[in-house]
Structure 1
Amino acid sequence: MNRRNPLAAVLTLIGLLCGCGSGSPADAPPSPAGQQPFWQAEFDGVAATRPSPKTWNTETGNREAEGWGNKELQYYTDDAANSGLDGAGHLLISARPAAAGSELPCYTQEFCPWTSARLTTEGKVALTHGRAEIRAKLPTGTGLLPAIWMLGDNGVEWPGQGEIDICEVVGGEPGTVYGTAHGPTYFNENGIGGSFTLPADASRAFHTYAIDKQPHRITWSVDGKPYFTLTPAKLPAPGDWVFEQDMHLLLNVAVGGDWPGPPDASTPSPATMTVDYVRFYGESRA
């Protein structure tokens, strides 16, 4: 989800499986047996308030970030209208058309026509080895790219930083979930991953998106069904595996850009990612 042009976002598309929809908490797959999360966000709180700054950073802007590396059209804000609690235990990340006269500076044009939000746990919560599990409904529609992903805390410039896309749903493919890894020699269209076919549009129901990040092995799953595993042996030469480190979480809804293309009159507004919970199991050195 970082600086890339993923028209062919997955180099290795394997494990095309059909998942089971999840419409209520009772349908969610069980957590790792015998484990308690070492960190969790359940998003209890008053409606229209921001998520806790003790855990969440809010990144803002567009132009200075070169359209967030993908020539995107949204200006990320710290407004509760773009990222706030709903009062019923959910975090809402919403992309909305910018208000008339807002004049938000954009990379690809003078002003950004959309606003949205990008939240991170950088410097606050990270996962070394274990499981990252997020239960969410993702918005779908022309020009949208919601993402749940991770970046490395090694201090190296991207792509050497390392990136794990836990899930992305692009534009006109509402029933397809992409999971991808990016590193020093496998990034942009050469990112390595797989895809999972949902039983219906990703915006219709909650699903549990997860990665299990173990030493020299990362496995992606949806609703407890694994669909792709990456090991160092699957990397191109020189096999530069960069995932044995702390990695923090990012949540965002992008609009436009290299992969989904521009929005149109059919694009929903607001386009909202509804996050039920985030849970990290295992270990962190952070």
Structure 2
Amino acid sequence: MHRTRHLPSRPRPSALRPAVWAAVLALLAACAACGGGDDDGGDGGARAGGTDRDGWQLTWSDEFKGARGTPPDPHKWVHDTGGEPQWGNEEWQYYTDRTANAALDGKGRLVLTARRDQLPDMADCPYGSCDITSGRLTTKGRFTQAYGKFEARIRVPEGKATLPAFWMMGDNDEEKSWPGNGEIDAMEVVGGEPGLVYGTVHGPGYAEEGLGGSHELPDGERYADGFHTYGVEWTKDRITWTVDGTAYHSDRRARHDAKHPWVFDHPFYLLLNLAVGGTWPGPVTSSTPLPARMTVDWVRVYERS
């Protein structure tokens, strides 16, 4: 979907004394691998049953432990399958439940792979070249939660026409169709803007463009160059987006009105997917690197303890 693209305001640095700076630098050095762009499978939060230093209690997680080539845990994830028009956005990919498109790598990670592939069911796709498959997973029917902290450590693919996402949908979609059920996009990195991550909400009156913000990496860095932890902290009055633990945008209940209602007061389920082509990232070309891989180190959900 099209997104609003407001760059976040940058916080002013505080004036710290030299001794405090030394302590801060020591802590940063000790925690360098906690949530940034490394490739080491960093932790970044409390494990199952634990409470982190900020008072968050883990309620659900997937660390993706399992043998290489095995499917994601069916007790936690469900595959969405098929192609347009059910997903919107005029995307090109066809989602399957095959391990060729969603599987564990044997190193504690999930890999969603978009690849050139042609299946019999794809013969009548309305958009694109009908030869790209990918993966889309959801916890619908397995896990939902209202409010809390929702995080995933992900390495996104590189290349134009890709659109990886970590997001949530309101679990009341059988009573209220989209956008009335609400949508919270914790992370979208469109391939043509490799240094930007977008965080957005969608609801009645702000369905297509959404309301949100973005965060840009410094010095021409790209999100595809390493793992980053993407998250939202959601309360009854506010949703705040973070990258590697740093907040970059908030949406507040008080900013909404009758024409743009706040629809974030009920449980939501999680989604991970790798889209290709469509109205935002644009068409697939000969330079689009396929296969493209979205690698997920972990997904964790917390509530206040």
Under TM normalisation by the shorter chain, which class is it? 0.7 to 0.9
Structure 1 residues 16, 100: closer, same or farther in 2, change over 3 A? farther
Amino acid at match of 2:37: S
Aligned: 1:132 with 2:150: yes
Q: CA RMSD in A?
A: 2.1
Structure 1 residues 223, 171: closer, same or farther in 2, change over 3 A? same
CA offset at residue 12 of structure 1?
A: 4.4
How many Å separate the matches in 2 of 1:254 and 1:239?
27
CA offset at residue 215 of structure 1?
A: 1.2
Q: Which runs of 5+ in 1 are unaligned?
A: none
2:191 aligns with 171
- 2:95 pairs, out of 65, 72, 76, with 76
2:214 aligns with 195
CA offset at residue 102 of structure 1?
A: 7.5
Aligned: 1:282 with 2:303: yes
Structure 1 residues 11, 272: closer, same or farther in 2, change over 3 A? closer
How many Å separate the matches in 1 of 2:7 and 2:113?
30
Question: Does the CA contact (< 8 Å) of 1:232 and 1:239 recur in 2?
Answer: no
How many Å separate the matches in 2 of 1:13 and 1:226?
13
How many Å separate the matches in 1 of 2:9 and 2:71?
38
Which TM-score applies when normalising by structure 2? 0.83
How many Å separate the matches in 1 of 2:291 and 2:282?
18
2:241 aligns with 220
Which protein has the larger Cα radius of gyration, Structure 1 or Structure 2?
2
Amino acid at match of 1:238: K
Identity across the alignment (%): 46
Equivalent pairs, count: 271
How many Å separate the matches in 2 of 1:165 and 1:15?
20
Which structure would you say has the larger RCO, counting Cα contacts within 8 Å and 6 or more residues apart? 1
For each residue in 1:203-255, what CA deviation from the matched residue of structure 2 results, as whole angstroms up to 9, or x when unmatched?
11000000001111100000000000111222354341111110001100111
For each residue in 1:164-208, what CA deviation from the matched residue of structure 2 results, as whole angstroms up to 9, or x when unmatched?
00010112101100000001111212x100001124211110000
1:15 aligns with 9
Instruction: Give the secondary-structure state (helix, strand or coil) at the position aligned to 1:38.
Output: strand
1:154 aligns with 172
Q: Which runs of 5+ in 2 are unaligned?
A: 12-34, 47-51
Aligned: 1:182 with 2:221: no
2:73 aligns with 52
Amino acid at match of 1:180: T
How many Å separate the matches in 1 of 2:134 and 2:292?
9
Counterparts of 1:108-123 in structure 2, within 5 Å, are 108=127, 112-123=130-141
